[in-house]
Structure 1
Amino acid sequence: MLLALMVALAPLSMDAFLPAIPAMAAEFGVDHSRLGLTITFFLAGYAFGQLSGGPLSDSLGRRPIALGGIVLFLIASLGCAMTHSLEWLMVFRVLQGIATGMTGGVSRTVVRDVATGKDAARLMTNVMMVLMAAPLVAPSLGALILALSTWQMVFIGLAVYGVIAGVAIRQWLPETLPASERSPLSLRGALASYRTVLTTRGVPGHLMLLLCGPGIMFTFLTNASYLYQGVLGLNSGEFALAFGANVGAMLIGNRLNHFGLKHLRTRKLVQVALCMQGIGITWLISLVITDNVQVATLIPGILFVLGAGGMITPNVMADYQSLFTRGHGAANAISGTVLYLGGGLYGALASLWLSGDDMLAVPLVMLGAWAIGGFGFWVTRHTAPSEQSSD
């Protein structure tokens, strides 16, 4: 639960304010698209927070970086709530991204500190479930707050969440990196850590695999309103129900993964889930080609694809982490950056590709993410540590 609180900071911060964009644009006197840039600024900050927080946690320990990220998050969230200009909002969104990158990165690193093999995969299943489900829940929470109050209260709500997470971290998060295992703090050392991670055998394939689930999920998330309201014609209430059903699908995938880990190796589970996703994406493409896009055909297909994704990312992350005996902070910084920036780029690509009512771009981008993940699976066929060590 504590790790889930930490990892949820980033997706909640990134997406909870989305329903408030029209009100914010009107108050700042700018076009809606200018507010959309705050997501780009947030992701840039998140990447920096991951890449800087990882080596820092390897040198200073996990708790100081997690708590430092929470303090920065509180400052940034309150700054977003009190600002009266778009320029300062951008600044505070960057700081929010840095803070969530630091704290969220520590949560995944702690998993590797305390567990390996299937045990790590079970813990990572819960962590990644929150990471993937929170972006689907966040806009609904933001809309609820907006219905009761002003857009500023969305950021106040995030600050309150940060206080709760900070108290929980201070009270219950143990220091999982002994002083004897910490590395010296230096820029050269940090760069050396990243070089070691990127040149470790098996890393490129695992990073390609890690792009699969988030890439498909962000492609849907970015274009959900277009698909469900623009193409299917759902009203706001129906959209909320259909959107929320995706969380249920991912929960089912999460539980299936927990069950599967009792009987199968992590690599076999990834193989099964990739096959399931391939079938689901093929179904979505066939719907568009045959002009059979309906509520009863499109929504079940999307639920099937996203549910299967819930079985891929946690297992790949556990296998990726098992490639390293030291420098887990740097390793998780790279994987976290790939997850968010890569997933966001897939979603942006589908949005830019869309034209009129032609929704073929969405399943085709999903297919691209799936194909890269499949190639990554093939590349890692000789570097599957869980096959050997997680029985």
Structure 2
Amino acid sequence: MFKPATQPPMLASLILATGIAVLSINMFLPSLAHIAEDFGVDYGLANLSVAGFLAVSAVMQLLLGPLSDRFGRRPVMLWSFAVYALASLGCALAQDIWVFLAFRVIQSVVVAGQVVSRAMVRDMYDTKEAASKLGYVQMVMALAPILGPSLGGVLDMLFGWRAGFWLYTLLGAGLLWLFWCDLGETNKQPSTTMGAQLRSYPELFRARRFWGYSFCLAFGIGGFYAYITGVPLVATAWFDLNPAMTGLGIGIITVGFMGGNFITGLCAERLSLIRLIIIGRVISLVGPSIGFALFALDVVHVAVFFGAAVCVGFGNGLTVANASTGVMSVRPHLAGSASGLSGALVVALGAVLTTLTGAVVSPDNAPFAVLGIIIVSSALGLLSALYVAWVDAHDPLPSVQ
């Protein structure tokens, strides 16, 4: 029962690892106001627990991916979750806002659950099967952003804001035990030295497909960030929706995402990565474009706006798993590094689009500005996918077909 694992992990373990990485971002969000009140600080300072976490998680992805290529997936995952459990405990016990924020940013090491899990899936399966498995992982993981804030709100209401961090602590410790027993090493060819690992980086930087897949992934998810940033203003200023209905509107894009990932799981072993990605990018572009045109024609209805969001989510469901697999398949021996670097790019571009959306959206222009940013982001994602298709046509690489 307590013997260290020697076999590759169950897919369920990787789903849990990915899910807790998402829960760690959003489950405690309903408690932000209470955290600020408890520590006697303004809301902006307490909100650093979100912004700081995201910023450090981008850096963590750049570090953890290469470390898993050098030392193996298993030790990186085990150490990351041990640190995460201790950092969660520190947050739960903190009596000062700066101590709380320090432990909160250390919690960002949980991003290993996403970075290393993706690399392990790529280690365990060939390209098309890896895309299929990642599709199912993403589909189940998508429940986390839907259920997380609700769970956090209930815990806060019943036991106070610290209850969420006690739960993070228990989850971290529980998953650490699970990974010890189930997460066998999948990286069979680790780099001999860290120097050798760093010297192999130019291979990744010179790989045109890597950048094509990465920007396709980043612009696709960037449209999601723009949507969740702007939808509260659209919902209240244009449709007079109450908070509960606004929350439902935010979550509806995830429903589309789950559907797209389900199709990916079914079709990825029969269709090429890039074909599914291009289909996804076209859907993500056409849906918001139709919505924008209908608003311009004064067809102002809640179904128009949220229908466009479902298209964006569905398109991303066809994109994310396939593009992630493509990123890691360009140089399979650098799968961890590729996963980390592309993940950091996604976070960075997401931060830019979130900031841009917040700056340009107003009560008067809300649906046009939000849909416009999504359209531009989706179009750039489609161009990135078409670039990969062009590279494939001129320089075929069978392992990613």
Both structures adopt the same fold (TM-score exceeding 0.5): yes
Whether the 8 Å CA contact 2:237–2:363 is kept in 1: the answer is: no
Select the residue among 80, 93, 97 that pairs with 1:82: 93
Q: Once the 2 structures are TM-superposed, how far is the Cα of residue 157 of structure 1 from its aligned partner?
A: 1.6
Residue 176 of structure 2 aligns with an amino acid whose one-letter code is G
Mapped partners of 1:5, 1:42: distance in 2: 20
CA-to-aligned-CA distance 1:197-219 (integer Å, 9 cap, x gap): 12223222111111132111122
Asked if residue 149 in structure 1 is aligned to residue 159 in structure 2, the reply is: yes
In structure 2, distance between residues paired with 1:209 and 1:342: 11
Q: 2:267 aligns with which of 260, 264, 282?
A: 260
Tell me the distance in 2 between the aligned counterparts of 1:141 and 1:194.
41
Letter in 1 for 2:171: Y
Among residues 207, 212, 218, which one is paired with 2:214 in the alignment? 207
Corresponding residue to 2:303 among 296, 304, 309: 296
Alignment-derived partner of residue 70 in structure 1? 81
- Paired residue for 1:110? 120
Distance 2:103 2:386 in 1: 41
Q: Secondary structure at the match of 2:347?
A: helix
Q: Greater CA deviation, 340-349 or 14-23?
A: 340-349
Match of 1:373 in 2: 381
User: Residue 116 and residue 164 in structure 1: after superposition, are their counterparts in 2 closer, same or farther (change >3 A)?
Assistant: same
Indicate how the Cα distance of structure 1 residues 32 and 57 shifts in structure 2: closer, same or farther if over 3 A, else same: same
Shift of 1:338: 1.7
Q: Name the residue aligned to 2:332.
A: 325
Counterparts in 2 of 1:132 and 1:198: CA distance versus 1, 3 Å: farther
| Range 283-292 or range 273-282, more displaced | 283-292
The 2-side partners of 1:135 and 1:189 are apart by 38
Once superposed, which parts of structure 1, at least 4 consecutive aligned residues long, lie more than 6 Å away? none
Q: What percentage of aligned pairs have identical amino acids?
A: 27
Gaps in structure 1 of 5+ consecutive residues: none
Q: 1:189 to 1:136 in 2, by over 3 A?
A: farther
8 Å CA contact retained: 1:228, 1:239: yes
Deviation at 1:153, TM superposition (A): 0.9
Question: In the alignment, which of 228, 237, 244 is matched to residue 237 of structure 1?
Answer: 244
| Matched position secondary structure for 1:234 | coil
2:185 aligned with 1:175, yes or no? yes
1:308 to 2:315 alignment: yes
The TM-score normalised by the length of structure 1 is: 0.91
**Do the aligned residues in 2 keep the contact of 1:73 with 1:95 (CA within 8 Å)?**
yes
2:56 corresponds to which residue?
Answer: 45
- Asked if the contact 1:53/1:333 (under 8 Å) is kept, the reply is yes
Q: In structure 2, what is the equivalent of residue 18 of structure 1?
A: 29
Root mean square deviation, CA, Å: 2.3
Task: Name the aligned partner's letter for residue 157 of structure 1.
Answer: L
Amino acid at match of 2:388: T
- Mapped to 2, the partners of 1:383 and 1:124 lie a distance apart of 24
Superposition TM-score, scaled by structure 2 size: 0.89
Aligned to 1:345: 352
Tell me how far 1:324 sits from its aligned partner: 0.8
Question: SS of the residue aligned with 2:186?
Answer: coil
